[in-house]
Amino acid sequence: MYNKYNLTVLSFFFLILLFPFLGIFSKINYDIEEIIIFLKNSYTQRIIFFSFYQAFLSAFISCLLAIPFALALNRHKDNKLIKYIISLCGFSFVIPSILIVFSVIKIFGFNGVLNKYFNFYELLSIDSIYGLKAILIAHVLLNTPFATRLFVQNLNNIPKNYYEISKSINLNFLGNIFKLELPIIKQSLFAVFSIIFSLCFLSFAIVMALGGSPKNSTLEVAIYQYALFDLNFNKAILLSFIQISICITFVLVGFYKFKGSNFFEVNFIKYEHPHKNERLIKFIDYFLILVFIFVLFSPILAIYTEFLKSIFLKINLTKAFIQAFKNSILISLFTGVIVSIFGLLISYLIVINHKKFFLQQLLFLTSSMILIISPIIFSLGYFIFFQPIINYPYIKFFLVILINMIFLLPFAILIFFNNLKNLYLSFNDFRKTYRIDLISYVKIIFPLLRKNFLYVFSFSSVITFGDFTIISFFRSDNFETLPSYLFKLISTYQFNEASFVAGAILFLSMIIYFIIDNLSYQGRPDITT
């Protein structure tokens, strides 16, 4: 029975990964000369360079800002307010990127808050916010809080007694930073940089909406444009392979370093930092925390204020909005359920085959490989493969759910695996002794994994709810989700309606996120009891 179960799950897992590549390889033109000409083309080279350049700058600035923010927050993390601020940092990982686009326009745009009240454009002689500067601003606003949280998470690795020792030997403030805190940050710096770089490198909505011109296109945007507008699948596929080859190192290193960790989980170790109450240090820390609060909350505040304005304007809810809302809810719920079930099944498969090292490593490697490949590439593959029937009812709906599921499975597996392994080792002998069948065994185990299951469901739902990259390949006039509908409104300068839609997305995303965060701090099931 177990062999049949193993074969079924494995076959399904590898089949859904195989489909897009069948579509891609069916459209490849193997003309080497044409490939060389395309690669030597100045536009191609500019796209590759700009993709790397904007991602590097975005990751560098985000990490550079995150280090002093993390140090300041870490010194005062025994404060309840600071705990909540650190907790909210994780929201930047799940906030839909299209909301950041909207907030950047509303804060830094020509009719934005800064220009309206401070003559921002005249002061800095800026013609337009669009282009590289807009992309960098959006990426920094999005990723700095996330990088800060990862650094705070790593600062927890400093043993409590180290601070007690530094206090006893009268180690000064700078000594604590350079001898205790920065070495810990240095250990994780490349990993954090790699994660942020990969997120910016694979950024789609931000570059698509704020790039401003073809010269500011990235590989993600170029693949999308070649495939959907030019119908030149060969060029789109070539760029896809280039993209994979560039980001593979960054993604693997970054996520490998955080393997098995929970991005949302921060352990607040109680200790007294030896210098946190010094007047000058406290002033600097509070100033940094205030700046950090602006970075963290300015996008949320911009969306919230515009949402309130739209309510007073009595925006009529169109049929398009209602349909987009229904699609977003259904897609996110279905994805959450499917990812939770298959994540648990695949994790269980890895656990029960823990003695079969090759199979276990194969499953882990396959799951990790998903993180290397952009959703754009999988969307392209599935789009090509299912192109003959793409306009049939519910096909697009099914494909959007399937592709989202593929990319969320690795996170689900990481969350389930450790707990499931401990449970399996604890109860397996018990199951064999009393000859408990699989269904009864699941009834015993599942209650102990209930929090993990709900966590994965919530995480998958909120990520899917805010996705714009995947839906962009399959959207049409009669098939939109809230993020794609918001992009449509922004593109046509319907900002009153866009304000209401952005507020709705933000409100629902935050509700789901707080469920995630609450589950994270409640802890995992006690296996030893």
Tokens 């409104």 locate to 489
What does the block give as tokens for 333?
A: 């719920």
Give 477 or 23, the one with higher predicted confidence.
477
DSSP string, 243-286: HHHHHHHHHHHHHHHTTT--TT---------TTTTSHHHHHHHH
- Tell me the pLDDT band of 334, cut-offs 50, 70 and 90: very high
Let me know whether 255 and 377 are in one domain.
no
Give 283 or 64, the one with higher predicted confidence.
64
d(C-alpha 287, C-alpha 276), whole Å: 13
pLDDT higher than 90, residue 297 = no
- Tell me the pLDDT band of 262, cut-offs 50, 70 and 90: very low
Let me know whether 255 and 385 are in one domain.
no
Let me know whether 66 and 215 are in one domain.
yes
Amino acid symbol at 394? Y
Cα 339–341–347 angle (5° rounding)?
A: 90
Q: CB–CB of 458/512 below 8 Å?
A: yes
- Tell me the pLDDT band of 211, cut-offs 50, 70 and 90: confident
pLDDT higher than 60, residue 3 = no
Give 408 or 244, the one with higher predicted confidence.
408
Asked if residue 331 is part of any domain, the answer here is yes
Sign of the Cα torsion 360, 362, 366, 371 reads positive
Phi, psi of 277 (to 5 degrees): -95, 0
- What is each CA distance from 265 to 94, 349, 418, 518, 521, in whole angstroms? 14, 26, 15, 10, 7
- Tell me the pLDDT band of 329, cut-offs 50, 70 and 90: very high
Asked if residue 45 is part of any domain, the answer here is no
pLDDT of residue 261: 46
pTM score of the predicted model: 0.81
CATH number of the domain where residue 277 is located: 1.10.3720.10
Mean pLDDT across 375-386: 83
pLDDT for 421-431, tens place per residue? 777 766 666 66
pLDDT higher than 70, residue 316 = no
Asked if residue 241 is part of any domain, the answer here is yes
Let me know whether 478 and 373 are in one domain.
yes
pLDDT higher than 60, residue 258 = no
Which of 41-55, 76-90, 362-376 holds the top average pLDDT?
Answer: 41-55
pLDDT higher than 90, residue 331 = yes
Q: CB–CB of 205/475 below 8 Å?
A: no
Lowest pLDDT segment from 75-89, 284-298, 433-447, 500-514? 433-447
d(C-alpha 151, C-alpha 119), whole Å: 36
pLDDT of residue 124: 60
Let me know whether 308 and 403 are in one domain.
no
Amino acid symbol at 165? I
pLDDT of residue 106: 85
pLDDT higher than 90, residue 277 = no
Give 467 or 108, the one with higher predicted confidence.
467
- Tell me the pLDDT band of 57, cut-offs 50, 70 and 90: very high
pLDDT of residue 127: 63
Output b/e per residue, 350-361; b: 16+ Cβ within 10 A: bbbbeeeeebbe
DSSP string, 404-461: HHHHHHHHHHHHHHHHHHHHHHHHHHHHHHTT--HHHHHHHHGGGGHHHHHHHHHHHH
Let me know whether 329 and 231 are in one domain.
no
What does the block give as tokens for 274?
A: 């030896």
Residue 79: other Cβ atoms inside 10 A: 15
Domain boundary among the residues 280, 312, 344 is at: 312
pLDDT for 439-450, tens place per residue? 666 667 777 777
Asked if residue 39 is part of any domain, the answer here is no
Mean pLDDT across 32-61: 87
pLDDT higher than 60, residue 351 = yes
pLDDT of residue 58: 94
Q: CB–CB of 124/169 below 8 Å?
A: no
Give 498 or 418, the one with higher predicted confidence.
498
Let me know whether 303 and 387 are in one domain.
no
Asked if residue 196 is part of any domain, the answer here is yes
Let me know whether 17 and 68 are in one domain.
no
Asked if residue 445 is part of any domain, the answer here is yes
CATH number of the domain where residue 26 is located: 1.10.3720
Lowest pLDDT segment from 178-187, 196-205, 285-294, 436-445? 436-445
Mean pLDDT across 83-107: 83
Alpha helices in 211-232 (DSSP H): 219-228
Let me know whether 10 and 66 are in one domain.
no
Average pLDDT of the chain?
77
- Percentage with pLDDT > 90 across the chain: 10
Which of 18-22, 55-59, 492-496 holds the top average pLDDT?
Answer: 55-59
Let me know whether 247 and 376 are in one domain.
no
Residue 108: give the domain boundaries. 53-312
d(C-alpha 292, C-alpha 288), whole Å: 6
Let me know whether 302 and 322 are in one domain.
no
pLDDT of residue 1: 46
pLDDT of residue 139: 93
d(C-alpha 415, C-alpha 519), whole Å: 12
Let me know whether 490 and 444 are in one domain.
yes
Domain count for the chain, please give it.
2
- Tell me the pLDDT band of 528, cut-offs 50, 70 and 90: very low
d(C-alpha 92, C-alpha 97), whole Å: 9
